[in-house]
Amino acid sequence: MPSVLPILFVLVIAVGLMACAALFTPKGPQQVLIRTSLMLALAACYLMWMVTYLAQLHPLIGTPPSTA
Amino acid sequence: MSDDYPSLLRSEQMSLVQLFVPTEVAHDAVAELGELGNVQFKDLNPNVNPFQRSFVGEIRRVDEMGRRVRFFSTQIEQEKDVVPIRPLYDSAPLIVVGPRAPQAMDELDVTLAAHEQRLTQMNESYQKLSERTKELIEARHVLRETAVFFDKAHHQTDIRTSFDDSSAPLLQHDDRENQYSVGTGVQFDLEFVAGTIERVRVPTFERVLWRVLRGNLYMNHTDILEPFVDPVTGAETRKNVFIIFAHGDALLAKIRKVAESMGATLYPIDANADKRSESLREVEGRLEDLQNVLYNTGSSRRTELTKIGESLRSWQDVVRKEKLIYETLNLFNFDVRRKTLIAEGWVPTRDITTIQLALRHATSRAPACLPFYMSFTIMDSYGVASYQEVNPGLFAVITFPFLFAVMFGDIGHGFIIFVAALYMILAERKLARVDLGEIMGQFFYGRYIILLMGLFSMYTGLMYNDIFSKSLHIWHSAWDFPSNTTDTKIVGIDNGHRYSFGLDPGWHGADNNLVFVNSYKMKMSVVLGVIHMTFALCLQFPNHLKFKRPIDIYANFIPQMIFLQSIFGYLVICILYKWSVDWSKATTQPPSLLNMLISMFLSPGKVDPSEQLYAGQPFVQVVLLLLAAICVPWLLVTKPYLAWKDMHKIKEQGYVSISGEGDGNGIHRNSSDEVLEGEEEGNGRAIAEDGDDGEHEQHDFGEVVIHQVIHTIEFCLGCISHTASYLRLWALSLAHAQLSEVLWSMTLEAWLEPTGVFEWIVLIVMGVFWFVLTVFILCLMEGLSAFLHALRLHWVEANSKHFEGGGYAFTPLTFANPDSKE
C-alpha cells in the first residue's frame, strides 16, 4: 500500500547523514568547503528523490498504456 | 570553529599596517616581504611624478641591466643550434641582500656591460666578413661564367685567323680592326664590361642599354644557380652574371654608368685566359681564408653565448626582483626627521606574525643594530564594498553541478562526462605543462567541476531512469502489464508497489509517458527553483549581521522573504500536498494548481468547493494574499522613511556641532581635512557648508528613494519571472531525453538483430555512428547548453537576491613569477 512513510524515513536518514558531515569533517584548510559540499549534496539528492517518489505515489493519470 | 584557516565562505580579514623602515635595511626588508608574497603596498606618493621619485636612479640602472639581459636572450634565441640555458633552480644564486649587496650589483653591472660589448663586436665583425664573402663568391661566379663566354667565342673563329692564339690581348687589334668591325658586332675587337645584377632587373637592364647605345652592344648573361642569402636578414636574392661587349670608351663609360644606376656590381675581368685563371685561384684562396675566419668568429661567439647562458636565468631573476623592489620603495614615504621610510600596506590578519618574523630576519643581516618597529592600525571594511561579504561560490560548488544534472539527466552520458573528467584529473601533471589551446584549456581548468557534473548527472539519470534513452528495471515496478493479445492497447494495472528510486520503468515507451513526465518535471522545477531562491535570499541574512545593518534585516530581508513564501512557498506546499493525497479515495476532484493560483489573485476568497485542495482554503489564501500585499509597501517605504528621519535629526543637530564641540552622530558629515580646517577658520564658512551638507543630504535621500523603488519592483516582478525561469530545468531535460531517444531509434534500433554478414557490418557502422553522435551532440553540445543555463540560473535568479560584488582582488608584492616556464 503506497504511503508517505518512506519519505519521512529517508528524510531522517538524510538529516542524520548531514549531521555526521557537520560534526565529523576533519579539520583542515578545506573543512568549510568539504562540510558545506557534503551537506548540500545530501540535501539536494534527498530533495530530488523525495519529489520523484512523491510524484508517483498516487498517480493521477490512471495507468500507462503500452503499444509494445 | 574554523578560524584558523581562511574559508571559502567569506574573504579574509585584512589589516592595514604601517611599517617604519630605516633606510639602510629598506631594500632587504622589501626583498624579504616580496619573497613572502602577501603584502599589498599602498602608494603614499600619489602626487609625485614618476621621474621625481627617490629611487629613479636605481631603477634606471636596473632597466639598463634588464635591456642587456634581454639582448642576450634574443641573441641566444637567434642561434640556429640551441644554446643551453641553465634553469633557475640549477643556477648559483646571486646574493643581492645583506651587507655585500651593493658590491654584488656593481659587479653584475660591469659583467653585463663587458659581455654586451664583446657580443656586439663579434656580431659586427661577423657581418662585415659575411659581406666580404658574398662579394668574393660573386666574383668567382663572374670569373667562371665569363670563361664560358670566351670559350664559346673562341670556337667561332673562322674568319679571323689571328685569334688562334688565345693569349693575344684583344686590345691590340682595336684600332686596326676598327674600320672593319664597326657595325658588324663581332665580339673580339671590342672591350667588355662584366658583372652581376639581380635577375629581376635583367630585362630592364637590356632595354635601357639598347636604347642608350642604339644597339651598339652585345650582351650575354646567365643565371647563377644558387641564391645569395643575406646573413643579417636571411633574404634570398638571385643574380645573373652578364658580360657586355661594346666598342669605344664613350660607350663603355655609358655602360658602366647605366650598370651602376641599376644596382649591378662590376668586376674587373681580364681578357687573357691565364690571367683569368690566376684571378680565379686568388679569389678562391681568399674565400677559403674568409670562411675559416667566419667559422672561428662563429664558434667564439657560441662559446660566449654558452657562458652567458650559464648565468642568464639568475641575471633575469635578479633584475626582475630588483626592479620590483625599487618600484615598491618608490611607493614609500621618506621621513626626513627620523631618516626612515614609512610604508603602508594591506596584510591578511592571519599573516601578521609571519611578516614580523620575516622582517626581523631581514634586518638581522644589517651590520649595525638599528632599531626597527611596526605600528598597527587595524581597520576593517575600509570602504571596499564587498569585503567580507558572503561568497556564493562556496555553495555553487554543489548547486551548479546539481542544477546542470537536472537538465542533463542520463546515466550513460553522465558516465561519459565523469570518465572524461577523471582522465583529466589523473593526467593532471602531464596536461598542465602542455599548452592545450584555449578551448581544451578551459575544459581542463574546470575538470573538478566537470567531475561533479558527471557524478550528479549519473544520479539524476537514475532518478529519471534514463540510460542512453533506455530505462533500467532494478526494483519492483508499480505497473503490471497483462499479456493480453486481444486488444491493441494494453493498459497497465497498479499493483501497489512503488518504484524505490526514480521514475518507474513502466512509463518507458508508454503513450502517455510524456503527459506524466512533463507534469512531474515541471512541478519539480518549480519546487527546486523556489527552494534555490529562498536559499539565496537567506544568504542576505549573514551579510546584514556581519556588517551590522539591522535596518536591512527588517526593511529588506523580512518583507522579501514573506512575499516570496506567501505566494510561491505556498505553491510549493500545494504541489507537495496534492501529490501526497490519494485522489481515487478523496471526496473532491484533484484541482488544477495553475488555475488555483490564478484564481487566488483574480478572485480572492472564492474557491469552488468541488475543486478545493483542502478545507479552509479560501481563508488561508486571503490571508496569504494580504500578507504579500502588505510586503510591497513595507519594502518600498521603510528604508527611505528611516533615511528621511535620520536626515532631519542631523539637520537639527547640525547647527550644534558647528560651534566646535564635535559631532556625536555625524554619520553623514564628511570629516575630511578641508572641512575641519574650514570650521577652525571661521563660522561664516561653516554655515555655507551646512547648506551644502543639507543639499548633499537631499541628494542622498533622493538616491535612496530611487534605489528602493527599483529594488522593490525588481524583486516583486522578479519573483514571478524567476520562478517561471526555473522551468528551463524541465525544458532542457525534456529536450535531452527526446534527442537521446531519436538518436537511438534512428541509428541502432532497426539493426539490433543482425542475421547476415551485411547486417553485422551495418550494425557496427551504425554503432560507431551512434557513439560519435552521442559524444558530440548529446554530451558536448547539450552539456554546454545545460552548463550555460545552470550558470544563468545562478547568476541571475540566485545572485540577484543577495550579492553585492563590489570588491577588488588582493594583489600583493610577490616574486613568484607566473610566466616562468621552469
pLDDT at B391: 67
Q: Which domain holds residue B370?
A: 14-117+299-378
Rounded Cα distance, B541 and B558, in Å: 9
- B481: which chain A residues are within 8 Å (Cβ-Cβ)? 66
State the angle between helix axes of B683-725 and B617-657 in degrees (0 to 180), rounded to the nearest 10: 160
pLDDT at B750: 81
- A49: which chain B residues are within 8 Å (Cβ-Cβ)? 463, 501-502
Check CB contact of A26 with chain B, cutoff 8 Å.
no
Nearest to B345 by CA among B29, B77, B67: B29
Rounded Cα distance, B214 and A58, in Å: 112
Q: How many CA atoms lie within 13 A of A27 on its CB side?
A: 5
- B395: which chain A residues are within 8 Å (Cβ-Cβ)? 36, 40
Residues B531 and B615 both lie in one domain: yes
Which of B402, B528, B577 is most worth mutating to test chain A (most A CB atoms within 10 A of its CB)?
A: B402
pLDDT at B56: 81
CA angle (B522, B527, B530) in 5-degree steps: 120
| pLDDT beyond 50 at B690 | no
The Cα-based distances of B498 to B477, B504, B505, B524, B583 in angstroms read 6, 8, 11, 18, 16
Burial of B806 (0-12, 13-18, 19+ CB in 10 A): exposed
State the CB neighbour count (10 A cutoff) for residue B371: 8
Torsion angle, alpha carbons of B27, B31, B36, B41, to 10? 50
Residues B214 and B67 both lie in one domain: no
pLDDT in tens, B33-73: 777 777 777 777 777 777 777 778 888 888 888 898 888 88
Confidence of residue B436 (pLDDT cuts 50, 70, 90): confident
What residues contact residue B355 under an 8 Å CB cut-off, 6+ apart? Answer: B17, B33, B36, B38, B39, B347
* Min Cα–Cα distance to chain B from A46, Å: 11
Is residue B469 a part of any domain in this protein?
A: no
Question: Is B632 in contact with B649 (CB distance < 8 Å)?
Answer: no
Is residue B310 a part of any domain in this protein?
A: yes
Residue B191 Rama label (left phi>0; alpha psi -120 to 50; beta): beta
Of B378, B406, B432, at which residue does a domain stop?
Answer: B378
Question: Is A49 in contact with B501 (CB distance < 8 Å)?
Answer: yes
Nearest to B555 by CA among B639, B631, B633: B639
Q: Of B156-170, B580-594, B773-787, where does mean pLDDT reach its minimum? A: B156-170
Is residue B232 a part of any domain in this protein?
A: yes
DSSP A59: -
pLDDT at A61: 67
State the angle between helix axes of B570-580 and A31-55 in degrees (0 to 180), rounded to the nearest 10: 50
Arithmetic mean of pLDDT, B400-410: 92
| pLDDT beyond 70 at B636 | yes
Arithmetic mean of pLDDT, B109-126: 88
pLDDT in tens, B559-602: 999 999 999 999 999 999 988 888 777 777 788 888 888 888 88
Q: Cα B392 vs. chain centroid, distance in angstroms?
A: 23
**Chains A & B: contacts with CB separation below 8 Å:** 136
Helix (H, G, I), strand (E, B) or coil at B417: helix
Rounded Cα distance, B142 and B420, in Å: 67
Rounded Cα distance, B651 and B765, in Å: 84
More confident residue, B554 or B585: B554
Is residue B331 a part of any domain in this protein?
A: yes
Grid cell 644564486 in the structure block, residue: B93
Rounded Cα distance, B39 and B41, in Å: 6
Residues B50 and B150 both lie in one domain: no
| pLDDT beyond 80 at B686 | no
Rounded Cα distance, B463 and A55, in Å: 12
Confidence of residue B558 (pLDDT cuts 50, 70, 90): very high
Taken in order B83, B89, B90, B91, the sign of the CA dihedral is positive
Rounded Cα distance, B412 and B737, in Å: 12
Rounded Cα distance, B669 and B801, in Å: 31
Question: Is B544 in contact with B552 (CB distance < 8 Å)?
Answer: yes
| pLDDT beyond 70 at B75 | yes
Question: Is B399 in contact with B794 (CB distance < 8 Å)?
Answer: yes
DSSP B245: E
pLDDT at B734: 94
Question: Is B117 in contact with B306 (CB distance < 8 Å)?
Answer: no
A68 closest CB neighbour out of B503, B509, B524: B509
Residues B619 and B529 both lie in one domain: yes
| pLDDT beyond 60 at B133 | yes
**Which residues on adjacent β-strands are paired with residue B333?**
B342
Residues B341 and B197 both lie in one domain: no
Question: Is B782 in contact with B739 (CB distance < 8 Å)?
Answer: yes
Confidence of residue B237 (pLDDT cuts 50, 70, 90): confident
Question: Is B555 in contact with B639 (CB distance < 8 Å)?
Answer: yes
Q: Which three cell numbers stand for residue B254?
A: 655609358
Interface contact flag, A64 B507, Cβ < 8 Å: yes
Q: Which three cell numbers stand for residue B204?
A: 630592364
The Cα-based distances of A29 to B7, B125, B522 in angstroms read 7, 62, 40
| pLDDT beyond 70 at B366 | no
Check CB contact of B49 with chain A, cutoff 8 Å.
no
Question: Is B147 in contact with B276 (CB distance < 8 Å)?
Answer: yes
Q: How many residues does chain B have?
A: 822
Is residue B591 a part of any domain in this protein?
A: yes
pLDDT at B238: 81
Rounded Cα distance, B194 and B267, in Å: 6
More confident residue, B415 or B659: B415
> If you average pLDDT over every residue of chain B, what do you get?
77
pLDDT in tens, B462-517: 999 999 988 888 888 877 777 766 666 677 777 777 888 888 888 887 888 888 89
Residues B70 and B133 both lie in one domain: no
Between strands B239-246 and B191-198, the pairing is: antiparallel
DSSP B1: -
Residues B112 and B251 both lie in one domain: no
Check CB contact of A8 with chain B, cutoff 8 Å.
no
| CA gyration radius, chain A | 17
CA nearest B455 in A: which residue?
A41
- What is the residue type of B375? S
- B489: which chain A residues are within 8 Å (Cβ-Cβ)? 65, 67
B590 closest CB neighbour out of A48, A60, A68: A60
Of B262, B296, B330, at which residue does a domain stop?
Answer: B296
Arithmetic mean of pLDDT, B780-808: 81
DSSP B351: G
pLDDT at B96: 63
Is residue B132 a part of any domain in this protein?
A: yes
Question: Is B243 in contact with B221 (CB distance < 8 Å)?
Answer: yes
Q: Which three cell numbers stand for residue B149?
A: 663566354
What is the domain count for chain B?
3
DSSP B338: T
What residues contact residue B807 under an 8 Å CB cut-off, 6+ apart? Answer: B11, B384, B385, B386, B387, B389
Residues B729 and B624 both lie in one domain: yes
Arithmetic mean of pLDDT, B130-153: 81
Percent over 70 (pLDDT), chain B: 78
Domain CATH for B200 = 3.30.70.120
Nearest to B571 by CA among B534, B544, B536, B538: B534
- B460: which chain A residues are within 8 Å (Cβ-Cβ)? 48
Which phi and psi angles does B228 have, rounded to 5°? -90, 130
The Cα-based distances of B500 to A61, B235, B478, B525 in angstroms read 19, 77, 10, 21
Which of B579, B581, B585, B729 is most worth mutating to test chain A (most A CB atoms within 10 A of its CB)?
A: B579
Buried b (16+ CB within 10 A) or exposed e, A6-38: bbeeeeeebeebbeebeeebeeeeebbbebbbb
pLDDT at B10: 67
Which of B524, B584, B585 is most worth mutating to test chain A (most A CB atoms within 10 A of its CB)?
A: B524
More confident residue, B405 or B589: B405
Residues B53 and B78 both lie in one domain: yes
| pLDDT beyond 90 at B703 | no
Q: Of A56-65, B104-113, B360-369, B429-438, where does mean pLDDT reach its minimum? A: B360-369
Arithmetic mean of pLDDT, B207-221: 83
pLDDT at B776: 93
Rounded Cα distance, B705 and B575, in Å: 38
pLDDT in tens, B254-272: 888 888 888 888 887 777 7
Residues B530 and B601 both lie in one domain: yes
Confidence of residue B677 (pLDDT cuts 50, 70, 90): very low
B579 closest CB neighbour out of A36, A54, A61: A54
Residues B578 and B628 both lie in one domain: yes
Buried b (16+ CB within 10 A) or exposed e, B504-516: bbbbbebeebeeb
Nearest to B593 by CA among B578, B614, B610: B578
- A66: which chain B residues are within 8 Å (Cβ-Cβ)? 481, 490, 492, 509-511
Rounded Cα distance, B772 and B775, in Å: 5
Residues B142 and B47 both lie in one domain: no
Of B332, B360, B378, at which residue does a domain stop?
Answer: B378
Arithmetic mean of pLDDT, B339-350: 76
DSSP A4: S
| pLDDT beyond 60 at B185 | no
Largest CA distance in chain B: 141
pLDDT at B1: 39
Burial of B104 (0-12, 13-18, 19+ CB in 10 A): middle
DSSP A25: P
- A6: which chain B residues are within 8 Å (Cβ-Cβ)? 498, 500
Q: How many CA atoms lie within 13 A of B696 on its CB side?
A: 12
**Which residues on adjacent β-strands are paired with residue B243?**
B194, B220
What does the DSSP assignment read for B649-708?
HHHHHHHHHTTTT--SS-SSS---HHHHHHHHH-HHHHHHHHHHHHHHHHHHHHHHHHHH
| pLDDT beyond 50 at B613 | yes
Is residue B481 a part of any domain in this protein?
A: no
Is residue B412 a part of any domain in this protein?
A: no
| CA gyration radius, chain B | 45
Check CB contact of B581 with chain A, cutoff 8 Å.
yes
What residues contact residue B202 under an 8 Å CB cut-off, 6+ apart? Answer: B221, B240, B242
